[in-house]
Structure 1
Amino acid sequence: MADTDGLLDARTFTGGERPATGFHVKGAHAQDWGLQNRLARIFRPDNGRTVMLAFDHGYFLGPMAGLERIDTNIAPLVPQADAIMMTRGALRTSIPSHSTAGVVLRASGGPSVLRDLSDEHIAIDIEDAVRLNAAALAIQVFIGGEHESRSVANLAKLVDAGQRHGVAVLGVTAVGKDMVRDARYFRLATRISAEMGAHIVKTYYVNEGFETVTASCPVPIIVAGGKKLPEIDALTMAYRSMQEGAAGVDMGRNIFQSDHPAAMLAAVRAVVHDDAKPEEAHELFRERSAGSAAS
């Protein structure tokens, strides 16, 4: 076991501008053309940012509120998203094949919400992901969880397969109910995922020290929306995330459980791509909500 006595906290996360690399996605300048092309389907080339719509929750929660009918509740929202995150079953059954959003497929699974969620395995074959034209594969990494080692090994195997076929891998920092959600933990969890080869990392926002999480991760960080919040609170979290170094947001419940999902998605886009302040984005949400109610 590593000796952690006397281990110093990292403290220097700045030190000069990041050099231009010729590619708009952080850490991907040395990747093959195909993998870069897939990353460009997720992150807009003009600003390196993304709004990802997540609706993969059914793989362990079943038909939760807002996801009762993916074909009628979610499919109409897809044209507004830069990327979409879902299972291959949902993609094949419910998303039109003319969609231009970057496809991020859930690649891990196993237990339901009734069991220990960290007991996951790789749940997709790389050839099927290529067949579905996936831009990336998403896999949970349970740092500090009971099955931490297996989840890290799952990530490594998926990265190996992704590198062979030019498919990006999104490492998702899964936080159990007993985990401490602070910047120190997320620096550890995100850095491990990146060091194991993940091309993108999804994590949670924290109010203190989040800029150290984004600065110390050598690949883009996108922020999970998490539980349903009041719209102004979700927009504030998105704004702070972007201002503190995130490359985008991956929101699910804060969009599809809103009373006006399309209006909320438009407001999130304004924050991420136009640097709209939370109050401005919330006003856009209210305007779009009133318009949809009137129609």
Structure 2
Amino acid sequence: MSPTPLTARRDLPFDGFRIRCRRLFSPVTGRTLVIPLDHAITLGPAGGLEDPAAIVEAAVQGGADAVMLRPGLTHCLAVPGAERLGVIMALTGRLADGVDHVQLNTVEYAAAHAADAVCGEFKFGSSGDLENARVIAVLAERAHDLGLPVLVTVYTRPEAVRRLGPGAYAHACRIAEEIGGDFVKTALPDDPDIVRQCVESTSVPIVLAGGAPDAGTELSDVLDRAIRLGIGGAAVGRRAWAGGKPADAVRELAATVHGGPRHA
């Protein structure tokens, strides 16, 4: 299968779902740049998360398509220009311990707090992956009843790679689609065969996660290669706003995702 940009799918009625997709994905490229700022419940309000409104402002100034946050931070969307951003509400999460998530907020609560889409996360290969997948499947049913797109975030654990080999990444992406994901956020190795297999194994856009600031790779180069292989965009948090010039970082990422001049 080859993923079709959500903005280009003609099998979808022109309803609230498609209208929200137009706010999340560029109608020109069919790709998206999401700036997540939902990390503080796990990492604490540090490392750039002290001022979430400033992250939203950087997303606006840098030309991001959407932000991902939690319902309690809706007030940060009062930043001038934020009305142009799509809003993804993260509804599952964890605190400092463990890897598995629980559902923290409802779809209805997210819809009442300006959500254009909702997100749930699971780790393929963790001890709780099946239960987390079930939670997301139920969440997706309710979201679709309300016309909300669903982003499923999935990270492939080393245990799954040891058991299944490199195909574990495509397996994880396919699970995310089959439980109701309209687009999938995931981390992938900088390996063209793995990226291509993930893209070809799903019919929904895959959005590449940025990872930690010390990941040791040049993100723009990795992302550029992935885009050429059919990746549908990026979701970059810490590697965008943890540095000294977050608006410039977002601007460079937007240029990579959509094409255009990068910040010098």
Deviations 1:172-213 (A, max 9, x none): 013446553974111000001101121010011322221111
Structure scoring higher RCO (CA < 8 A, sep ≥ 6) equals: 2
* Alignment match, 2:90: 106
Q: How many residues align?
A: 255
* Alignment match, 2:178: 195
| SS class of match (2:175) | helix
Cα drift, residue 24 of structure 1: 4.3
Matched, 1:206 2:189: yes
Deviations 1:209-262 (A, max 9, x none): 211111211101000000115898011111112111111000011110122211
Amino acid corresponding to residue 256 of structure 1 in structure 2: W
- 1:219–1:24: structure 2 CA closer, same or farther, 3 Å change rule? closer
Tell me which of 79, 82, 91 is aligned to 2:65.
82
Matched, 1:142 2:123: yes
Amino acid corresponding to residue 136 of structure 1 in structure 2: A
Matched, 1:254 2:239: yes
TM-score by length of structure 1 reads: 0.79
Provide the C-alpha distance between the structure 2 equivalents of 1:194 and 1:230, rounded to a whole number of angstroms: 27
Tell me which of 12, 18, 22 is aligned to 1:36.
18
CA contact (8 A) 2:5 2:30 kept: yes
Provide the C-alpha distance between the structure 2 equivalents of 1:134 and 1:31, rounded to a whole number of angstroms: 20
Provide the C-alpha distance between the structure 2 equivalents of 1:202 and 1:230, rounded to a whole number of angstroms: 17
CA RMSD of aligned residues (A): 2.4
Cα drift, residue 123 of structure 1: 1.6
Cα drift, residue 28 of structure 1: 4.8
Gaps of 5+ in 2: none
Higher Cα Rg: structure 1 or 2?
A: 1
- 1:199–1:254: structure 2 CA closer, same or farther, 3 Å change rule? same
Tell me which of 44, 50, 64 is aligned to 1:68.
50
TM-score by length of structure 2 reads: 0.88
Provide the C-alpha distance between the structure 2 equivalents of 1:57 and 1:179, rounded to a whole number of angstroms: 24
- 1:176–1:267: structure 2 CA closer, same or farther, 3 Å change rule? same
Gaps of 5+ in 1: 1-12, 288-295
Between the aligned residues of both structures, percent identity stands at: 24
Tell me which of 159, 164, 174 is aligned to 2:140.
159
Provide the C-alpha distance between the structure 2 equivalents of 1:159 and 1:47, rounded to a whole number of angstroms: 26
Matched, 1:169 2:169: no
| SS class of match (1:152) | helix
| SS class of match (2:184) | strand
